[in-house]
Amino acid sequence: MSLSGFGDTGKAQPPPALFPAPEPDTPTPVRRRGGAPQNESPQNAPTQGDRQLVFFGADAAEPTVADLAGLLAGPGEVVRMGGTARLSVQVDAAWRVHVLVAELASRGLAASWEPTEGERHTVRTSYTRILKPLAAAWLHGSAKRPPAAFHLTGRRLRLWLAAAGTPEPPDCFLLRLGADDQQCWEPIGVALAAAGLTGKLLSPDEGGPAYRITGRRRLARLAELVGAPPPTAPPPTAPPSTTPPPTTPPLTAPLTGSIMELWWGMFRSSGFKTPTISP
């Protein structure tokens, strides 16, 4: 697993740039009867923009532990103990617990949760060696700070939205940050801009800390990157609920909540058609 915390797991090396343009495919020589080989026409080949969108979208790759950097971009925290580490995040709605527990399970991480003040819940993993590289990349002593080459992919953004994304109708979306992570705010904003999601940093006095994403084009870009709503998200027409999640996995019954109607309705209004989810 990469110790950088910003690349893929395994032996893969981190990308040389934040969003590198894919190299064009080498044209395949086609030998025609009675003539020299000629290059095949690239007319039907995908454009660089299409290929880049597919590569960085949430559905473009299998889930990896490196995706959890998206939680750390928001209010998530990671702590070390010996050769292990634990990830935790506090959320403001019970439905977010369902989504995050399912996302962690898809990456081989069991999670527990408990209610905190108000209607909030804390989701946390066990201490595990699996998270040690992520902690090594993000912790400077006990302070959280993004790695130098940190960038945001679709899966990382998806996790950030699941934990701390809040729509602001009619054309804004908030991505909330950790209240005690001031050193992270600026580099996280740089990563958002590199992903085509330049936002305005809101201070705690302005309803933050959070980045506010505005405009149809940026919201459409955000929708393209994060993909369809999670299967465990509540139906958009159901009334709000504060029912805590079940005490034993698997999480099969989705919670209800009107926030998802706003979330994905915002994306649809931006001009991007959200893919449907097969039952």
Q: What is the pLDDT along the chain (279 residues), one digit of tens a residue?
A: 433 333 333 333 333 333 233 333 334 444 444 544 444 433 343 333 333 333 445 565 789 999 999 999 999 999 999 999 999 999 998 889 989 999 999 999 999 999 988 889 999 999 999 999 999 999 999 899 999 999 999 999 999 999 999 888 778 899 999 999 999 999 999 999 999 999 999 999 999 999 999 998 999 899 889 887 776 555 443 333 344 444 433 333 333 333 445 454 544 444 433 333 332
- pLDDT for 170 equals 78
Q: Which residue, 112, 142, 148, is CA-closest to 15?
A: 148
Residue type, 47: T
Q: Residue 237 has what pLDDT? A: 31
* Residue 37 counted as domain residue: no
Whether 77 is in a domain gets the answer: yes
Residue 239 forms part of a structural domain: yes
Start-to-end Cα distance in the chain: 34
Q: Report how far Cα 271 is from the mean position of its chain's Cα atoms.
A: 21
d(CA 123, CA 164): 13
86 contact partners, CB below 8 Å, separation of at least 6:
78, 79, 124, 125, 126, 127, 128, 131
**What CATH number has the domain bearing residue 233?**
3.10.28.10
- pTM given for the model: 0.69
For residues 213 and 266, give the distance between their C-alpha atoms in angstroms, rounded to a whole number.
Answer: 12
Which among 122, 73, 118 is positioned nearest to 96, based on CA atoms? Answer: 122
Residue 163 lies in a domain: yes
pLDDT score, position 274: 35
Q: State the amino acid at position 61 in one-letter form.
A: A
Q: What is the 3-state secondary structure (H, E, C) of 166-213?
A: EEECCCEEEEECCCCCHHHHHHHHHHHHHCCCCCEEECHHHCCCEEEE
The verdict on residue 126 lying in a domain is yes
154-164 and 94-105 are packed helices; what angle lies between their axes, rounded to 10 degrees? Answer: 150
278 occurs within a structural domain? no
H/E stretch holding 114: strand 111-115
pLDDT of residue 232: 54
The predicted pLDDT at position 212 comes to: 96
Residue 243 domain boundaries: 65-269
What's the pLDDT tens digit per position in 146-205? 999 999 999 999 999 999 998 887 788 999 999 999 999 999 999 999 999 999 999 999
Both structure tokens of 91: 């959320």
Residue 42 lies in a domain: no
**Tell me, what's the pLDDT at 169?**
78
Residue 5 within a domain: no
pLDDT for 187: 96
Question: What is the domain count for the chain?
Answer: 1
For residues 244, 237, 223, 92, the Cα torsion angle rounded to the nearest 10 degrees is -30
